[in-house]
């Protein structure tokens, strides 16, 4: 009898394990650069590790190559770095990759990234691109740069053409769909669009003969991408029904959302998780949404960072953490933790769990935490649209933890990896309860305030260097 039930339990266990389907979406909770790429990559690797003959698809849903998602992978030759801008990070794990209809799709960058992944990792996944997605052209970049150069009120954009692209999308007739891009209609459509935009382009200094140059510039990418145009909403629902694993990768972050971010210093896309599901045609109720939060917020470009640390903390964390934009090389401003911002983002995205990133970068610092604002002498527990008059309120308590004795300048992960690898691996092995007490207390207090559980704490840049919290099952 006992034998039978043990066997039965084992079979049920195996069956349940087999039936596990990863359905997750990831969004940034601050102003970008939280480390979404690292977490998405780890979860993709986990999905592959189930070894269940299911496919793993990784989808980009908004933004363009203004994003920069870095992955560091351990190999025999040490850490290898791989950065994607236009493509999902899934290239690094041989996952299928998909581009949703709300992306600002730069086909040239995308093709180059796929090529790099083929050379580096022998990438051979399936590539699915929504037939609806709009193409980001060189003229979008030129218009972006021209606008930033001429307007009095600057946004500090990445100059990747994102604003002008989404203006063309909303303008309807100036959107080159991917379906047109890979068809014989391409040249006619391009000339039509250039004609409609002629006055704008002339003002920005785009010269005669530009159409021929653009056609030539896109020849190779068009050729390579032929055959990848999909009615993506149907294909993704097939993935869902057939039990394949689906991981949705957000770019930028909640406070850069065109409607819900700190306007006007935001990007031009809809970033919140809800928008991802509506554009992909996938059901929110079946997914877990995870927020990715850098322990200290950073901001690049114009716009207020309420908890900006104008002291040693700001400077040293920026230096040690290598806080420089992956897409633009610009320095990022660093602030103290701002839980009010995170709480709002968790609410807006209906976040099911949070990953806290870069707990290692702030070791040995006294960490202040803001949990409210003062505006015109009044305490405010909500985030206002106008951040210019906001003074952060810091909790009396500060936090400080020590993880290991080792290099404190960790701005170059590849250089410090040999010295820190063992410490990091040990923390991952031992789990949350072996983390320094102050870091654990920080996490408990954070979760109570934000109203959401932290499920993982990243203590290193490489794949796998994330400590699981007690409430994370896998
Ligand atoms: P755009 O997206 O290039 O139009 O830039 C608009 C604003 O969003 C600027 O403040 C940029 O610095 C910021 N931004 C855009 N993409 C990213 C990103 O991936 N990380 C951080 N900031 C970003
Ligand atoms: Mg980035």
- When pLDDT is cut at 50, 70 and 90, the band that residue 271 belongs to is very high
Question: 335: number of CA atoms within 13 Å, CB side?
Answer: 24
**What are the tens digits of pLDDT across the range 379-433?**
999 999 999 999 999 999 999 999 999 998 999 999 999 999 999 999 999 999 9
Count of Cβ atoms closer than 10 Å to residue 6 Cβ: 10
Burial class of residue 227 in the structure, from the number of CB atoms within 10 Å of its CB (0-12 exposed, 13-18 middle, 19+ buried): exposed
469 secondary structure, DSSP code: P
Q: What are phi and psi of 255, to 5 degrees?
A: -80, 5
Q: Which of 143, 145, 301 to mutate to test the pocket of ligand 1 (most atoms within 8 A of CB)?
A: 301
Longest Cα separation, the chain: 85
The answer to whether the bond into 264 is cis (omega within 30° of 0) is: yes
CA of 217 to the centre of ligand 2 (A): 26
Which tokens belong to 298?
């950073």
From the centroid of its chain, how far is CA 137?
Answer: 22
CA of 66 to the centre of ligand 1 (A): 6
Q: Is 271 in the pocket of ligand 1 (CB under 6 A)?
A: no
State the catalytic residue, choosing from 33, 96, 168, 417: 33
Q: Is 158 in the pocket of ligand 1 (CB under 6 A)?
A: yes
Atom of ligand 1 nearest to the CA of 66: 16
Q: Is 298 in the pocket of ligand 1 (CB under 6 A)?
A: no
Which tokens belong to 171?
């303008």
Q: Is the dihedral angle over the CA atoms 404, 408, 410, 414 positive or is it negative?
A: negative
Q: Which of 238, 230, 244 minimizes the C-alpha distance to 178? A: 230
**Parallel, antiparallel, or unpaired for β 69-75 and 96-99?**
unpaired
pTM of the model: 0.95
Which tokens belong to 17?
């394990």
Q: Is 262 in the pocket of ligand 1 (CB under 6 A)?
A: no
Residues 461, 415: Cα–Cα separation, whole Å: 12
Count the helices and strands in the chain (H runs, E runs).
Answer: 16, 19
| CA angle (38, 42, 44) in 5-degree steps | 115
Q: Is 248 in the pocket of ligand 1 (CB under 6 A)?
A: no
Question: Mean pLDDT, to the nearest integer, of 81-92?
Answer: 97
320 torsion bin: left (phi>0), alpha (psi -120 to 50), beta (else): alpha
- When pLDDT is cut at 50, 70 and 90, the band that residue 230 belongs to is very high
Question: Mean pLDDT, to the nearest integer, of 31-49?
Answer: 97
Q: Which of 256, 269, 325 to mutate to test the pocket of ligand 1 (most atoms within 8 A of CB)?
A: 256
Residues 270, 26: Cα–Cα separation, whole Å: 14
Predicted local confidence at residue 6, as pLDDT: 57
Q: Is the pLDDT of residue 470 over 50?
A: yes
307 secondary structure, DSSP code: T
Q: Is 297 in the pocket of ligand 1 (CB under 6 A)?
A: no
Q: Is 160 in the pocket of ligand 1 (CB under 6 A)?
A: yes
Atom 17, ligand 1: which residue's CA is nearest? 252
10 secondary structure, DSSP code: H
State the catalytic residue, choosing from 41, 69, 245, 360: 69
What dihedral angle (degrees, nearest 10) is formed by the CA atoms of 209, 210, 215, 221? 150
Question: Mean pLDDT, to the nearest integer, of 93-122?
Answer: 97
Atom of ligand 1 nearest to the CA of 330: 12
Residues 175, 167: Cα–Cα separation, whole Å: 9
CA distances, 37 to each of 33, 43, 89, 143 (Å): 9, 10, 6, 29
Helix-, strand-, coil-residue percentages of the chain, each rounded to 5:
40, 20, 40
Q: Find where tokens 């997750």 sit.
A: 24
- When pLDDT is cut at 50, 70 and 90, the band that residue 14 belongs to is low
* Average of per-residue pLDDT values in the chain: 94
Question: 26: number of CA atoms within 13 Å, CB side?
Answer: 32
Q: Find where tokens 């920069």 sit.
A: 68
Question: 48: number of CA atoms within 13 Å, CB side?
Answer: 16
**What are the tens digits of pLDDT across the range 110-163?**
999 999 999 999 999 999 999 999 999 999 999 999 999 999 999 999 999 999
Please list, in sequence order, all residues whose beta carbon lies within 8 angstroms of the beta carbon of residue 220, skipping any fewer than 6 positions away: 111
Q: Is 33 in the pocket of ligand 1 (CB under 6 A)?
A: yes
Q: Is 265 in the pocket of ligand 1 (CB under 6 A)?
A: yes
Q: Find where tokens 């207020």 sit.
A: 304
Q: Which of 252, 264, 298, 325 to mutate to test the pocket of ligand 1 (most atoms within 8 A of CB)?
A: 252
Atom of ligand 1 nearest to the CA of 256: 8
Q: Which ligand is nearest to the CA of 300?
A: 1
Contact call for residues 420 and 407 (beta carbons, < 8 A)? yes
Does 228 qualify as catalytic in the annotation? no
Atom 1, ligand 1: which residue's CA is nearest? 157
Predicted local confidence at residue 11, as pLDDT: 53
Please list, in sequence order, all residues whose beta carbon lies within 8 angstroms of the beta carbon of residue 239, skipping any fewer than 6 positions away: 55, 57, 246
Does 208 qualify as catalytic in the annotation? no
Residues 115, 109: Cα–Cα separation, whole Å: 10
349 secondary structure, DSSP code: T
Q: Which of 186, 192, 177, 189 minimizes the C-alpha distance to 223? A: 186
Name 333's bridge partners. Answer: 299
Q: Give me the count of residues in the chain.
A: 474
**What are the tens digits of pLDDT across the range 340-380?**
999 999 999 999 999 999 999 999 999 999 999 999 999 99
Predicted local confidence at residue 1, as pLDDT: 42
């Amino acid at each position: 009898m006992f034998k039978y039930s043990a066997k039965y339990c084992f079979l049920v266990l195996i069956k349940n394990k087999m039936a596990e389907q990863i359905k997750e979406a990831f969004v940034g909770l601050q102003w970008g650069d939280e480390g979404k790429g690292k977490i998405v990559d780890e979860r993709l690797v986990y999905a592959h590790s189930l070894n269940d003959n299911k496919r793993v698809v990784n989808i980009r849903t908004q933004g363009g190559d203004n994003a920069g998602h870095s992955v560091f992978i351990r190999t025999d030759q040490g850490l290898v770095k791989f950065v994607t801008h236009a493509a999902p990070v899934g290239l690094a794990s041989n996952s299928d990759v998909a581009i949703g209809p709300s992306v600002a799709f730069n086909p040239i960058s995308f093709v180059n990234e796929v090529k790099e992944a083929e050379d580096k990792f022998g990438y051979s996944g399936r590539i699915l691109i929504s037939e609806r997605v709009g193409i980001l052209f060189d003229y979008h970049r030129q218009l972006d740069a021209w606008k930033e150069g001429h307007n009095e009120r600057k946004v500090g954009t990445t100059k990747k053409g994102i604003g002008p692209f989404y203006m063309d999308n909303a303008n309807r007739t100036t959107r080159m769909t991917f379906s047109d891009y890979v068809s014989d209609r391409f040249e006619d459509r391009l000339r039509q669009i250039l004609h409609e935009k002629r006055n704008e382009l002339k003002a920005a200094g785009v010269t005669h003969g530009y159409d021929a140059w653009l056609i030539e510039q896109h020849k190779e990418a068009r050729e390579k991408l032929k055959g990848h145009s999909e009615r993506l909403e149907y294909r993704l629902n097939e993935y869902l029904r057939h039990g394949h694993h689906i991981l949705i990768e957000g770019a930028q972050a909640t406070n850069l959302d065109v409607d819900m971010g700190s306007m006007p210093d935001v990007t031009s896309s809809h970033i919140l998780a809800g928008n991802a599901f509506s554009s992909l045609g996938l059901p929110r109720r079946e997914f877990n949404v995870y927020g990715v939060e850098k322990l200290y917020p950073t901001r690049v470009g114009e716009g207020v960072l309420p908890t900006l640390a104008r002291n040693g903390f700001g400077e040293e964390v920026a230096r040690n953490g290598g806080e420089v934009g992956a897409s633009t090389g610009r320095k990022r401003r660093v602030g103290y933790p701002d839980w009010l911002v995170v709480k709002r983002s968790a609410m807006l995205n209906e976040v099911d769990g949070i990953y806290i990133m870069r707990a290692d970068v702030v070791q040995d610092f006294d960490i202040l935490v803001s949990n409210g604002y003062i505006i015109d002498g009044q305490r405010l527990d909500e985030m206002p649209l106008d951040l210019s008059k906001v003074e952060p309120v810091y909790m009396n308590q500060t936090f400080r933890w020590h993880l290991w004795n080792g290099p404190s300048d960790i701005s170059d992960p590849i250089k410090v990896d040999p010295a820190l690898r063992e410490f990091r691996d040990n923390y991952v092995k031992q789990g949350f309860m072996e983390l320094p007490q102050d870091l654990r207390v920080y996490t408990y207090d954070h979760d109570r305030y934000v109203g959401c559980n932290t499920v993982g704490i990243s203590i290193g840049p490489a794949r796998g260097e994330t400590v699981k919290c007690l409430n994370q099952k896998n």
